[in-house]
Structure 1
Amino acid sequence: MLKLQNLSLTRGVRVLYKGVNLTASDGERVGLVGPNGSGKSTLFAAILSELSPEDGDILAPAPIRISHVAQRILETDSQALQFVLGGHQPLMEAKAALKKAEESSDDIAYATALSQLAEINEGAVVAEAEEILCGLGFKPSDSQRKVSEFSGGWRNRLALARALMKPSDLLLLDEPTNHLDIDSVIWLENFLKHIHSTVIVISHDREFLDSVSRTIWAIEDGTINRYSGNFSQYELARAEKIKLQQAAAKAYEATASHLQAYIDRFRYKATKAKQAQSRIKMLEKLKKVAPLHSTYQWSFHFREPEKIPQHLIHAEELDCGYPDKKILTNVKCVISAGARIGVLGVNGAGKSTLIKTLIGALKPLSGEIRYGNGLIIGYFAQHQLDDLRDDETALQHLARVAPPNTREQELRDYLGGFKFSGEMATALVGPMSGGEKARLSLALLSWSKPNLLVFDEPTNHLDMATRDALTEALSSYGGAVLLVSHDRHLLRACCDELWLVHDGALTEFHGDLDDYAEFVLRDKQEKKNAGKPEEKAVVSRKEQRRNDAQERQRIAALSRPIKKELEKVEKKLEKLSAEKKTLDAKLADTDFYQGNQDEVAVCLKKHGELSAEIDELEAKWLDLSEQLQDIS
């Protein structure tokens, strides 16, 4: 369990949030959300005792029972499997004790160490580590490779695997999906749903948050507020809260303005002095209601193409790859005007190789590619961020791709649409964040008015607001789109056709992303079971019926008390929801705020208490429902 008591955190001289009182229960899965720079990672650092709060307390499990992903992995020569097993501290301690006993020839210590190792069950732990590695996209042969042989992205996966391997009461995950493909994200969601630790996850992937989280902690309005439900439910609740608060603020302003006008007019007139003093007291008593601000949103658009050929790219019998390694064979595909194609497949399957070959960045090993007359491609890939010149500004980058006679003001206006206005347009690219560099790359590729946009993992460095802006921009774009992404919300919103790169071939995937999730989990399970001997058991029909009956009785016995508790919670929740609905209607009426101010204060206080109690009951209802599901 984790408890924040009157917590305040600062960064430099800036207060991030204060007066935070929150509790994460055992086994609760929390999504921590907020704009970039709002203090999400800072909260993790405080929980890990890497920095001290300005005020308040953090009651957390002992450090040995908290698991998190290390920011940096040393280029160790340890094998990948051993590195991941290193996260399982009880196993490491037991093996160290056994080695020490062997060296000391202490028979009692040796027997004790063997007993501890047997209790831990090293074989089961190793099998779990191998399953985690497989789930995160590693091949069986990778487990024996040295950590130093992997690229940065794969080392991040190893760090995540090591954190998942650690027995813990609290698991902290900061952007765990950034370096994963869609298959690994789907597996990770499924894994997190079945662990017993309390999980707090920071992510800009809304579909991942929707699937994993059952509670949202939102950094907003100088504090951290708790919302029951997943991210989509949080957005609805936040919108309703803003609506109610704005209505209350509007009513306050109207009442306060009316009272102030009376005071200003009559406070110095002897005949009205008493009434004016009465209005002054009313104004002082009237509690100010500040309007809530919605999450900052922004939007941009891709420049519309001037011409769109009917047939953009037509490939036949392509072999894709490199001279020393063929990756895809006999590829046949057509990209026509208006196509919206999402490309699925695990890392290393050949998605990027396919895209690079289709757009001409990589020469095909064999086969033919025909391009439409007037085809203009806008290509975005992660390596392009590294191609930006650190010693130049956004304005200089755009001036290089624009016609020589383009006015500077036109360039500035265009960059402003991508949040590079004023001094940002002339700031050096080097110190920019990954998200800012990604926005600049989007601006540069859109300038040429492409009729085919090709994206290879565009969201890795983007926050939630920028992802939403990209989704909106692609949805309204008139050209064709070819998209590789692990962000399923983006794929769902922008693609109506799915391609699957799998086992060295390209095929059309007949189904949606939910069908693909089932395909991924089934495929990983088959790989896990590959090579295992089949277990055969001969059970008579009579014995089977008896076993089934015993299982039903076991489930019924375990379920009965939970169902009773669930029924109580539902009745209480129904009663409180009805009370809150009545209060909502009263508080939404602006005339109500011009009446008895004591009653207004009581209603606002009661509304807050009801909301908090309903949130707790909803969390309890979700927990009980999940317990029932697990028993079944």
Structure 2
Amino acid sequence: MLRLLNLALMRGTRLLYKGASLTAAPGERVGLVGPNGCGKSTLFAAVLGDLSPEDGEIDAPASDRIAHVAQSFVAENVTTLEFVLSGHAPLVAAREALRTAEASGDEMALAAAHAQLAEVNEGAVAAQARTILAGLGFSQADGERLVYDFSGGWRNRIALARALMRPADLLLLDEPTNHLDIDSLIWLENWLRHVESTVVIISHDREFLDRAVSTIWSIEDGTIVRYAGNYTQFEAARIEKLRQQDAARKAYETQAAHLTSYIERFRYKASKARQAQSRIKMLERLQAVEPVRAKREWRFEFFKPERLPEHLVDAEGLAVGYGERRVLSDVTFSIRSGERIGILGVNGAGKSTLIKAIVGELPLMAGELRRGQGLEIGYFAQHQLDQLRLDETPLEHMKRLAPDTREQELRDHLGTYRFSGDLATSPVKPMSGGEKARLALALIAWKKPNLLVLDEPTNHLDMETREALTMALSTFEGAVLLVSHDRHLLRAVTDQLWLVHDGLVKPYDGDLDDYAKLVLEHRRTTAQAERSQREGEKLEKNDKGPQPVVNKKEARRLEAQERQRIAELRKPLKKELDAVEKALAQASEKLRALDATLADPEFYNGSDQDLVAKTLREHGELAPKVEALEMRWLELSEAIEAIC
């Protein structure tokens, strides 16, 4: 658990917040929210002991019982699996004890070390590590690759896997979704539901927070305020709180004005002196209510395209890839003016490859790609942030883009993207990832594209900028092609989906909830394939010629002992799996009945509206329950199969 007692924290000479007293109970999931720079990561640093509070106390578990993802780590020359296992402190201690005992030659110490390692159950821990890596998008072969071989985004996933492996009472996650695709997000949400430790998450992904947390800690008004519920419920409660504060301010102003008027009229009249003095004391006791600081909603826009041709891009029989390796084949599609398309697919399926082919960054291996006359593409990708000139300012970037435009007009445009005053003339190099992303969007908008191609545009963006981007894309008059792990953005902006899978690109008729079920089915199939492979490897091993002669009685005893060990480990998981299967069957049957009822047009005509509303509400409550049961079934099945 985690407790803050009258906490005050500073950054440099600036007071971030004070008087913060909150408690996160064991097993509670907390979302820590607030604008950039308000002190969210600073609180994590204080909990970890990296800085001292200005005032108050932090009651947190011991450091060896806190798991967190380090902001940076050295890419060690070890395999990915070993690096992730190094996060499991009991296993590390047991291995070290065994090495020490083997070096000492002490038989008693060696026996004790082997017993300690058996108690930790190295096989089960390694299976758990492989499950976590698979959930975060790594293949089985990736576990044997060196950490050094992976790119920055994948290294962040490895660091997250290591943190999730650590047995802990408190888990701190700072922007864990930044480098994940939707598939990994779905897995992480489910994983966090079953973690026993207290979890505190900093995230700007509102749908992730809605699914992953049950409490919000909001940094606001110079302190930290607790709200019950997920992010959507927090927003509603926050709005109501501001409304009540505004009403209290108006009541205070009315009462204060009335008392002041009476005092001014009668304070110098002897007959009213006593009453006037009484009103003065009432006015002094009257608690002032500060006016609500109206939050000015920040908005920007993508300009109306100068031309809107009907046919933007047509592709027929495309094949694209790298060198001799084909990533996608037989790709045929059309993009028309005004269409809003979201692209789904697991990491590595070829989403970015498709995008690069469309914008012309990747040559075609086969097929034809026709770009409409007057096509103007606005392309955003993470690698483009690295192509910004770090020694130049935002204003200099704009001047290179539009050399004949008046400087004030360029400044006005940059101001729309929050580059005003000195910030417009400051070098890009020290800017945050979010600021660089905003600059890239400003440069794109100036070109007035009629097709926006956006590859993970929300990485590094805070909640407010994501909302502004969502509004800008929703009102954009051109076409949008979007790859994003932000499901709120996908739901709000796109009206059709493409699925990149098995080297093909096909229209996807379902929605994002249907896609989540597809992810579950894919993981189930993958788990079965890996199980079959392991069984095949065991058979192959058993067929390899004569085995060393051993005492048959001792061999039978060891085999029975091993079967008993596996059975004992699997028993509680199988018991829970049976219960989940039973609950899943009942819930699925009820959901199918509700689907049939809601699919009947006569139901809406022949039933009263209360019954319709009740049925819709039951369906809305039951669907996520079925999804959660399916994910738990998959998790239990994988855990049982991993025990060997």
Q: TM-score, normalised by structure 1?
A: 0.83
Unaligned runs of 5+ in 1: 536-546, 560-625
1:518 aligns with 2:511: no
Give the structure 2 partner of residue 196 of structure 1.
196
Cα displacement string for residues 134-172 of structure 1 (whole angstroms, at most 9, x for unaligned residues): 111111111111111111111111100000000111100
Q: Distance in 1 between matches of 2:36 and 2:485?
A: 20
Shift in CA distance, 294/500, structure 1 to aligned 2, threshold 3 Å: farther
Query: Aligned partners of 1:3, 1:292: CA distance in 2, in Å?
Result: 29
Distance 1:239 1:519, change over 3 A: same
Deviation at 1:62, TM superposition (A): 1.1
Q: Partner of 1:102 in structure 2?
A: 102
Taking only aligned residues, the RMSD between alpha carbons, in angstroms, comes to 2.4
Task: Quote the sequence identity (%).
Answer: 62
Q: Letter of the aligned partner of 2:300 in structure 1? A: F
Q: Are residues 1:81 and 2:69 paired? A: no
1:277 matched to 2:277: yes
Please name the residue that 2:134 is paired with: 134
In the TM superposition, residue 22 of structure 1 has moved relative to its aligned partner by 0.9
Instruction: Determine the structure 2 residue equivalent to 1:28.
Output: 28
In the TM superposition, residue 89 of structure 1 has moved relative to its aligned partner by 0.7
Matched with 1:575 is none
**SS of the residue 2:386 aligns to:** helix
**CA–CA distance in structure 2, aligned partners of residues 413 and 259 of structure 1:** 47
Q: Distance in 2 between matches of 1:208 and 1:300?
A: 25
Q: Report the Cα distance in structure 2 between the residues aligned to 1:468 and 1:532, rounded to whole angstroms.
A: 43
Instruction: Quote the Cα distance in structure 2 between the aligned partners of 1:164 and 1:551.
Output: 25
Aligned residue for 1:387, secondary structure, equals coil
Aligned-pair CA distance for 1:270: 4.5
* Whole-angstrom distance in 1 between the partners of 2:15 and 2:469: 31
Shift of 1:121: 1.0
User: Is the partner of 1:333 in helix, strand or coil?
Assistant: strand
Which residue in 2 is equivalent to 1:473? 472
Residue in 1 aligned with 2:225? 225
Following TM superposition, by how much is the alpha carbon of 1:271 offset from its aligned partner in structure 2, in angstroms? Answer: 4.9
Equivalent position SS for 1:532: helix
Aligned residues of 1:27 and 1:199 also touching (Cα < 8 A) = yes
Aligned to 1:498: 497
Q: Name the CA distance, whole Å, in 1 between partners of 2:452 and 2:104.
A: 67
Partner residue, 2:117 = 117
- Mapped to 2, the partners of 1:265 and 1:148 lie a distance apart of 81
TM-score by length of 2: 0.82
Query: Cα offset for 1:405?
Result: 3.0
| Distance in 2 of aligned mates of 1:164 and 1:480 | 40
- 8 Å contact 1:65–1:169 — kept in the other structure? yes
CA distance in 2, matches of 1:22, 1:105: 52
Which residue number in structure 2 is paired with residue 390 of structure 1? Answer: 390
Deviation at 1:518, TM superposition (A): 1.4
The one-letter code sitting in structure 2 at the alignment partner of 1:253 is: E
- One-letter amino acid of the counterpart of residue 36, structure 2: N
Q: CA deviation at 1:433?
A: 1.4
Q: Does 1:507 align with 2:506?
A: yes
CA contact (8 A) 1:6 1:55 kept: yes
Partner AA of 1:210 in structure 2: D
Aligned residue for 1:326, secondary structure, equals strand
Helix, strand or coil for the counterpart of 1:26? coil
> Offset of 1:295 from its aligned partner?
5.4
Q: Is the 8 A contact 1:174 1:203 kept in 2?
A: yes
Aligned equivalent of 2:310: 310
**Offset at 1:283?**
0.5
Matched, 1:48 2:48: yes
The aligned residue for residue 174 of structure 1 is 174
The one-letter code sitting in structure 1 at the alignment partner of 2:417 is: F
Q: What is the SS of the residue equivalent to 2:134?
A: helix
For structure 1, which segment, 350-359 or 159-168, has the greater mean C-alpha deviation from structure 2 after superposition?
350-359
User: After the TM superposition, which of the residue ranges 217-226 and 252-261 deviates more from structure 2?
Assistant: 252-261
Match of 1:289 in 2: 289
Q: Is the 8 A contact 1:296 1:465 kept in 2?
A: no
Structure 1 residue 281 displacement after superposition: 0.6
Specify the alignment match of 1:60 in structure 2: 60
Query: Shift of residue 260 of structure 1?
Result: 2.4
* Aligned partner letter, 2:445: S
- TM-aligned CA deviation for residue 526 of structure 1: 2.2
Deviations 1:389-447 (A, max 9, x none): 12222111112112x43222211222221112222222222222111111111111011
Is the 1:175–1:201 contact (alpha carbons within 8 Å) kept by the matching residues of 2?
yes
Match of 2:321? Answer: 321
CA deviation after TM superposition for structure 1 residue 296, in Å: 5.5
Matches within 5 A, 1:143-154: 143-154=143-154
**Cα offset, 1:267, TM superposition:** 3.4
Q: Which residue of 2 aligns with 1:446?
A: 445
Provide the rounded CA distance (Å) in 2 between the counterparts of 1:295 and 1:118: 58
The one-letter code of the counterpart of 1:339 is: E
Q: CA deviation at 1:52?
A: 0.9
Q: Which region of structure 1 is more displaced relative to structure 2, 454-463 or 406-415?
A: 406-415
Aligned residue for 1:39? Answer: 39
Once the two structures are TM-superposed, the CA of residue 324 in structure 1 deviates from its matched residue by 3.1
Aligned partner of 2:430: which letter? P
Superposition map of 1:423-462 within 5 A: 423-462=422-461
